Structure 1
Amino acid sequence: MTEHHEHDEERTFAALAPVRGRGFAQTWWGQAWLKALEDAALDSEQVKAGRRLARAGAVGGVSVRPGRVTAVVQDRDGTAHRADVLLQELSEDHWDRFLDMAVERAGHIAALLDREMPPHLVEDAATAGVELLPGLGDLEAECDCGAWDHCGHTAALCYQVARLLDQDPFLLLLMRGRGERKLLDELQVRSIAPAAAEQGAPDAVQDGLDAAEAYMAGDILPPLPDPPQLPAEPGLPPSLDTEVPPAPGVDPVALGFLAARTAREAHRMLAEALSPGHEQQALDDELTLHQDAVRLAAGDPEPGVAVRLARGSERDREGLALAVRAWRYGGVAGLAVLDEEWHVPAESLARARAALHAAWDEDERPRLRSTYNRWTVVDGTAQLRLGRDGRWWPYRRERGRWAPAGPAAQDPATALASVGADA
């Protein structure tokens, strides 16, 4: 569990579970961190003791700040000690060099955003005079147990930090003095200036940028432009009426219908995306092929296209007509009520019966026979169906089939009344 503090200047991590059957560092940069500890420690037995403590889960929550990591480590007898490991922060000059280097190679930051630290990033930083990973003697120890070098407590903390670095190499940059958010903000500022200069010189030759690097570097690019204006109407697809015969298997009528429906759906989705508060709304589930076939059929296709859509929805033509009616009344929810029979849980069933009884006076209440989520009027042509969202859907008997008769209602009496007096 990670907690981000104000300005991203400190990150805290809950105690990690004990380690069994594997090493502490799985990445090369995590192993480099441990090598700096193991090569510099004067007492290898203390390093071994720290490894045993870390493996047993004796290291508490870890706090990572510029120049320092801190945790409480418990001895085997339960005695708690505060342990700190210090790493020198980079100077402003070193950060300038690192940022200039990173702006030139967007792939470096893209890798960090993917929680990776490729060797060429560290090598390019070193070429610029910036040492990111600690070397011999760079990890200094402080512990309230009184040890003047790395003790078992600070060694245990180092082993735990190696596990955290495996998950997020940005922690190393935080120890060196820059939090993730601040670092990305500074990179964004630096990336805007060269882009503006290039726009002012249209004749200049620009080097290419790998598309994957550009995509992964999205968080450090300039802000997006303002949203587009919503067109008054959906666009018109190009005419398919040409002198060239269609290729085998291509139905121009069906293709034209799909293109027109796609334009209408894109216009609807854009209108929703531009509406206030859209970013707070949950995403709709993706339609199944059967549901999408019904949605398309609701667009009044040509008869030949309707036949194909009926096959796509796995219904006969009359069944597709009923599905289209259900879709027009309630979309995915309306279609689900048409198709599904489900056992109403006892608690929900009790609430449904109470709602039915409360909707009419006793002498006016229709006689209903219940089967699963469906209540049918005895000796009548009306039916109520309970949706999983608690709404009531009216149905009417037509030519031997139950057909949707209107939109859903919260009140069963309202839903039944919409079917008609012959209920």
Structure 2
Amino acid sequence: MTMSAQHTTVGWAIAWTRALETAAVDKHLLRRGRSLLQDGTLSQFHVNTGCALAKVPAPGGALLHATLTVPVLSPVQWSQIDDAIVARPDLARIVLTRGLTDVLAEPSATGGVPIIPAPGELAFSCTCRPSPGLCEHTAALGYTLADRAKTAPGILLTLRGRSHKHLKNRLRTTTPATAPAPEATPLQEAPAVTCLAGPTADEAFARWTASPARAGTTGNLLKGAPAHDALSDAPPCPALDVSRLRLLIEDAAQRATAQLGAANTIPAGPVDELTDTARLLATTAGAEHLEAAAHHLGLSPRQLRHMITAYQLSGAPGVHVTAHHTPTDPGILADAEAAIQPLRPAPLAGLERDHNRLTDRAARVQLRFGPDYHWHPYTEHFGDWRPVAGHAANPAHAYKAARRDLRRR
């Protein structure tokens, strides 16, 4: 059976976490590693070919150096991966225009060559111990990589010896010109374009403000002037219609203004398509496009409305826990159970665990552990779980927020 490529990325994090936790003999170290990550102890990390490195603050002001290494794939193995993707036009199109679909996390889609290393291929070392092996610092590094892979899985390609950009360049030169065109959708994407190398946005803005002719004019950009465009006639296919293009222009202008402002509220790092769609539709101007966006994403309008609500309540982590089940340390779930037990109206009723979800059906409350290490509350309404306000690092606080929401209905 031929599987259809769906562009999601959380599967990369799940596969990496599975390899990490299988490789760990001491599960207690994994739990301590998650705690370090939750506490924000991991100050810096870098991903290079074959290894990831992190600096971890130690008592007394010293820095420990944690390292996680994996085997680098050979040129022959990368050629096998290229050939397998080229043979699947649906995969090639996603990689070239949208990103690294987690279909590629399965060896069956990459010519039998696994991009995710096997558990036995992971090696750990840290200056906290004299000999190689897993410690709480390398466990924290491993979980950090999993967290980053949810939105930027290209770091896993870098670990294995090739960048995402290199893969796309290779596909552009090897994908057959006769590959079948994808079916049109209401929000069909424009073909990918190759950009010439140039300065970053920060560099370009710095040059502009340093120009004598522009001195003192920067403040005028931050006064909230409306964005203007010259769109009039409908653009040719396969471009979006004028109303959607105008929405994107307005959104880009608002985000640029925020970037230039002193109080920059735009989150750093890449954002997946689902989260960015929820963010855009959360605006008044974007609301009218909900039906078309839901069709494009393969969701029902009701599902997408829940994700928009989740974004309004808790940002990108809220969208993530609404859309995905992710592996969670059983110890974290056990601690949450103990924290909410005194608050339960039916303390003898069972609690259900499902990945990152803890459900109290008798109370019509569900808590979901997010990538922000907060518990996100949901309440049941005619069999449907809806996100509500009150996400918190303390599961008891999130549980109380869900109970308050139910009492207000």
* TM-score under structure 2 length normalisation: 0.42
Structure 1 length-normalised TM: 0.40
